[in-house]
Amino acid sequence: MAYRYIALLDTTAAPQAAHAVEATDRLNRLRMRQCLRTRHCTVHVSGQTPFIALHGQGLLIGHVFSRSGEPLTQESQFPRFQSSSQLCRYILENCWGAYLVVLPDPEHDGRITVLRDPEGGMPCIHHLENGSGFIASDIELPLCAGRYQKRIDWDSILHRLIHPDIKTARTGLAGIQELLPGTRLVVHGTRLTLHTAWSPWDFLTGKLRHASIEDAAEAVRTAIDMVVNAWARTDRSILLELSGGLDSSVVGAALLGSDARVFCCTLTTPVPGADERHYANQIAALLDAPIDVETMGLESTLHDSAPAAGLPTPRVGMLQHITDTIMENARQRHGAASFFSGGGGDTVFCYLTSAAPAADAFQQMGLAGAFHTLRDLAGLHQCTIWKAGRLTLRKLMRPPGSPCNAMIEFISPGLANCLLEHHPWCDMPDTASPGDRERVFALAATHVYRDSAPRGRQAHLRLPLLSQPVMEATLRVPSWMWIAGARNRAVARQAFADRLPPEILARRSKGSFIGFVGALYARHRSRLRDYLLDGCLHSQGLLDAPAVQRFIDSDLPPRDRTFGRLLDLYAVENWIRHQT
CATH assignment at residue 261? 3.40.50.620
Q: Are residues 332 and 214 in the same domain?
A: yes
What span, in angstroms and rounded, lies between the C-alpha atoms of 217 and 237? 28
Of residues 556 and 46, the one with the higher pLDDT is: 46
Reported as a pLDDT band with limits 50, 70 and 90, residue 56 is confident
Would the pLDDT of 429 be above 90? Answer: no
What span, in angstroms and rounded, lies between the C-alpha atoms of 239 and 267? 13
Q: Are residues 210 and 331 in the same domain?
A: yes
End position of a domain, from candidates 167, 198, 229: 198
Give the H or E element holding residue 197: none
Q: List the 338-340 sheet strands across, edge first.
A: 291-295, 261-268, 237-241, 338-340, 460-462
| pLDDT (mean) for 229-237 | 97
Farthest-apart Cα atoms in the chain, separation: 73
| pLDDT (mean) for 547-557 | 89
CATH number where 149 lies: 3.60.20.10
How big is the chain, counted in residues? 580
In this structure, the dihedral spanned by the alpha carbons of residues 307, 312, 314 and 320, taken in order and rounded to 10 degrees, is -50
Residue 177: beta bridge partners?
A: 126, 170
Residue 33: beta bridge partners?
A: 45
**DSSP secondary structure of 489-545:** THHHHHHTTTTS-HHHHT------SHHHHHHHHHHHHHHHHHHHHTSHHHHTT-B-H
End position of a domain, from candidates 165, 198, 231: 198
Do 350 and 442 contact (CB within 8 A), yes or no? no
Q: Are residues 221 and 176 in the same domain?
A: no
- Cβ neighbour number for residue 301 with a 10 Å cutoff: 10
Reported as a pLDDT band with limits 50, 70 and 90, residue 300 is low
| pLDDT (mean) for 473-479 | 97
Considering its fold, how many domains does the chain have in total?
Answer: 4
Mind listing the pLDDT tens digit for each residue in 143-194? 999 999 999 999 999 999 999 989 999 999 999 999 999 999 999 888 999 9
Query: 556 lies in which domain range?
Result: 514-579
Would the pLDDT of 17 be above 80? Answer: no
pLDDT of residue 555: 84
Q: Are residues 129 and 49 in the same domain?
A: yes
Q: List the 5-10 sheet strands across, edge first.
A: 33-37, 41-45, 5-10, 132-136, 125-129, 177-178
pLDDT of residue 404: 80
- Cα 340 to chain centroid distance, Å, stands at 14
Give the H or E element holding residue 101: strand 95-104
Evaluate if pTM is beyond 0.85: yes
CA-wise closest residue to 344 among 206, 221, 182, 461: 461
Q: Are residues 106 and 139 in the same domain?
A: yes
Mind listing the pLDDT tens digit for each residue in 86-100? 999 999 999 999 999
Read off the amino acid at residue 131: G
Q: Are residues 243 and 389 in the same domain?
A: no
End position of a domain, from candidates 505, 522, 538: 505
E strands along 409-468, which residues? 460-462
Burial 26-58, CB ≥16 within 10 A → b, else e = ebeeeebeebbebebbbbbbbeebebbebeebb
Would the pLDDT of 14 be above 60? Answer: no
CA-wise closest residue to 59 among 50, 68, 67: 50
Q: Are residues 249 and 143 in the same domain?
A: no
Q: Are residues 458 and 318 in the same domain?
A: yes
Q: Are residues 52 and 165 in the same domain?
A: yes
Q: Are residues 228 and 128 in the same domain?
A: no
Give the H or E element holding residue 24: helix 18-29
Q: For 382-460, where are the alpha helices, taking DSSP H only? A: 385-397, 434-445
The least confident of 134-138, 195-199, 456-460 is: 456-460
Per-residue CA distances from 158 to 154, 167, 403, 535 (Å): 6, 13, 18, 15
Reported as a pLDDT band with limits 50, 70 and 90, residue 317 is confident
Q: Are residues 322 and 470 in the same domain?
A: yes
Q: Are residues 170 and 305 in the same domain?
A: no
> Three-state secondary structure along 205-267?
CHHHCCCCHHHHHHHHHHHHHHHHHHHHHHHCEEEEECCCCHHHHHHHHHCCCCCCEEEEEEE
- Name, in order, each residue with C-beta under 8 angstroms of 371's C-beta and a sequence gap of 6 or more: none
Strands 111-116 and 183-188 come out as: antiparallel
